[in-house]
Amino acid sequence: MATAVGSGSAVYVLGYVLTYLSSSTSIQESDLNQIIEAFGKDGVVWKLVGWVFYNAHGVTTTITLDIPLIGGTDVVNSIAQGDALSALLYVVPPVLLLGAGLFAARMADADELGDALVLGPAVAGGYLPLVLVGVFLFTVTVDTSSGGPTLLPAVGLAGLVYPLVFGTVGAVVAVLWR
């Protein structure tokens, strides 16, 4: 069980790193990053990559601008709404979570479907806490405006649905291919 939880944590970090490696240059050059830097906030590319990582799970980014006459709240998905980021980022979380479930079942020497149905969901035990931390860690605040992963979809989709489904499928595959 501890291996499943640990693999959930590990693939969260690995997913973020892969997202960073594939998107940080585009994000560094993006208009949004330039605007944030113009307001005196340097070094936020790693946070904006976090937005993209959550977008890869289908989680939107909520941006609230507190600017008279043009302010408001907008919900975006940078992968879906832009051409600078590859749609292949959408496969990163499922593939890594499948691998986490497969790894957990192999390491536990699981040989029954019931074992897989326990180990697979346990991947969420390592993934969900990091998803929650990431929601707050990846929030960018400039004066009274802010942006970050949308909390409820982050918890529901990225923290629960993705690891529960893909972790379990990976563990079941490991048992069936034994």
| 139 DSSP 8-state letter | -
Predicted pLDDT of residue 153 = 97
The span from the CA of 28 to the CA of 65, in Å, is 21
The span from the CA of 93 to the CA of 8, in Å, is 11
The span from the CA of 49 to the CA of 21, in Å, is 9
List, in sequence order, every residue forming a beta bridge with 74; answer none if it has no partner. 63
Predicted pLDDT of residue 84 = 74
Predicted pLDDT of residue 18 = 97
Predicted pLDDT of residue 72 = 78
Predicted pLDDT of residue 85 = 84
If DSSP codes are grouped into helix, strand and coil, which group holds residue 9? helix
For every one of its 178 residues, what pLDDT tens digit does the chain have, with 9 covering 90 and above? Answer: 899 999 999 999 999 999 999 999 998 888 887 888 887 777 899 999 999 999 999 999 999 987 777 777 888 898 998 777 889 999 999 999 999 999 999 999 999 999 999 999 999 999 999 999 999 999 999 888 899 999 999 999 999 999 999 999 999 999 999 7
Domain boundaries, the chain: 2-176
Predicted pLDDT of residue 35 = 81
